[in-house]
Amino acid sequence: MSQTLSGAAVVAHGGGPTQVINASLAGVIEERRRCPEITALYGARHGIVGVLADDFLDLDQQDAELVARIARTPGSALGSCRRKVTSADFERILAVFRAHNVRYFFYNGGNDSMDTALRMARLAAETGYELRVIGIPKTIDNDLAETDHCPGYGSAARFIACALRDIGADIRELPARVTVVEVMGRNAGWLVAATALARQEAEDAPHLIYVPEHPISAEQFLADVDAVYRRLGQAVIAVCEGQTDDKGEPFGADMVAADGFQHRLTGNLAHVLAQLINKRLKLRARSEKPGLLGRSSMAFLSETDYQEALMCGREAVRAAVAGFTDVMVTLVREPGESYRAATGLAPLEKVANAERRLPLGWVHPSGHDVMPEFLGYAAPLAGEIQPRPRLRQVSVPASLATP
């Protein structure tokens, strides 16, 4: 550890962007200025695709003020990709790195990207090419192992909590309705669980929250919706795109078969569930799918998430220069009353391809809500959700007998 290694550095993005992906990039760019052993900083255009194509942006030619502005905007400033990297690709990457004397590789991504980083590190080690590989976590799904949470999650949680607050308020004052909102998160319930942050009062939306960690039968789902509707005269339901039923099938698949629907469930779950509610419970139901806005909406940056993403970028450079390799930067929640997090490091091999799901202890035994412990976990990451003021409910005495 800690011996000086002189050479260029490459930073690359993998997978879908987040609201704070460019904050981590800014952290790398900033910190690199303090490290003379890093002789140049290259940004791979479109992630690994750019590395393979020898296509790099010169990140030392960027104005600090511009970088600071870009840091607060979502969408990958470098470009990204979803390429599955082959053995031949790894060889090519190594050749490109050798040609540019790249000795530092910062890879900002999720589970797949951490696997790519690990394999790259191993190939370099096998061939005796000294390369320090550091993963920077990034995913709105919050499903990376070894870290308290992931940069990107807090802002996406903020977006979806505000969305449920706003959709809930829109619908609350309209006639009886059922609305199903589909939330991202793949197989992990972290994001859909965050919709609970939308509630200010007990009967606020969402009235039902389903997480994929707790599979549920479609019949139970319909019974839950029916019960809420009978009690409140409406129901707002948050469901994760990756929800499964008690047979491990996509949520509602059996109902779809039974009812002869032709729809593909993927990419359309909320719509299908709304139709099922309509058909089986005879209730007016519609669906909402905020979709890509959940990870790209500039207006919902969580300040905590932003600061931590920046911190992870900086820490990646510091760790590499200090001699670390084959690790991912993590966020470690510090004990105490008020929220604080520091960075840590975890071996890439513990992170690569692992998937961290919502602890079952944070799912309400009913299977359609989250426990207060989860709210304590998620609230500081999303930041304060501005409450909606309501009129004082002072009624005018009726002047006529009811018709």
Site for a second copy in 354-393 (CB under 8 A): 386, 388-393
Q: Is residue 87 close enough to count as binding a second copy by CB under 8 A? A: no
The nearest distance, CB 157 to a second copy, in angstroms, is: 15
Nearest to 388 by CA among 187, 218, 216, 167: 167
Which of 122, 172, 318, 357 contacts a second copy by CB under 8 A? Answer: 172
What are the Cα distances from residue 23, in Å, to 114, 292, 304?
19, 19, 11
Nearest to 276 by CA among 255, 304, 253, 303: 255
Q: Is residue 100 close enough to count as binding a second copy by CB under 8 A? A: yes
Stretch 185-204 residues interacting with a second copy (CB under 8 A): none
Q: How many angstroms separate the CA atoms of 399 and 65, rounded? A: 65
A 10 A CB-CB count for 29 gives 24
Cβ nearer to a second copy, comparing 81 with 331: 81
CB 290 within 8 A of CB 181: yes
Stretch that binds a second copy, among 10-18, 144-152, 238-246, 308-316 (CB under 8 A): 10-18
Stretch that binds a second copy, among 250-258, 296-304, 319-327, 368-376 (CB under 8 A): 296-304
Q: Is residue 296 close enough to count as binding a second copy by CB under 8 A? A: yes
Query: What residues act catalytically?
Result: 141
Which of 39, 73, 217, 343 contacts a second copy by CB under 8 A? Answer: 73
Which of 290, 333, 343, 349 contacts a second copy by CB under 8 A? Answer: 290
Cβ nearer to a second copy, comparing 274 with 316: 274
Stretch that binds a second copy, among 12-20, 188-196, 314-322, 333-341 (CB under 8 A): 12-20
Q: Is residue 171 close enough to count as binding a second copy by CB under 8 A? A: yes
The interface mask with a second copy, positions 253-272, x = CB under 8 A, is: --------xxx---xx--x-
What are the Cα distances from residue 253, in Å, to 117, 267, 366?
36, 13, 21
Stretch 298-327 residues interacting with a second copy (CB under 8 A): 298-300
Phi-psi region of 226 (alpha: psi -120 to 50; beta: other; left: phi over 0): alpha
Q: How many angstroms separate the CA atoms of 56 and 105, rounded? A: 13
Which of 9, 11, 81, 124 contacts a second copy by CB under 8 A? Answer: 81
The angle formed by the CA atoms of residues 211, 356 and 250, to the nearest 5 degrees, is: 40
Cβ nearer to a second copy, comparing 67 with 237: 67
17: burial class by Cβ within 10 Å (0-12, 13-18, 19+)? buried
Cβ nearer to a second copy, comparing 202 with 400: 400
Residues 6+ apart with CB under 8 A from 234: 171, 172, 176, 177, 178, 207, 228
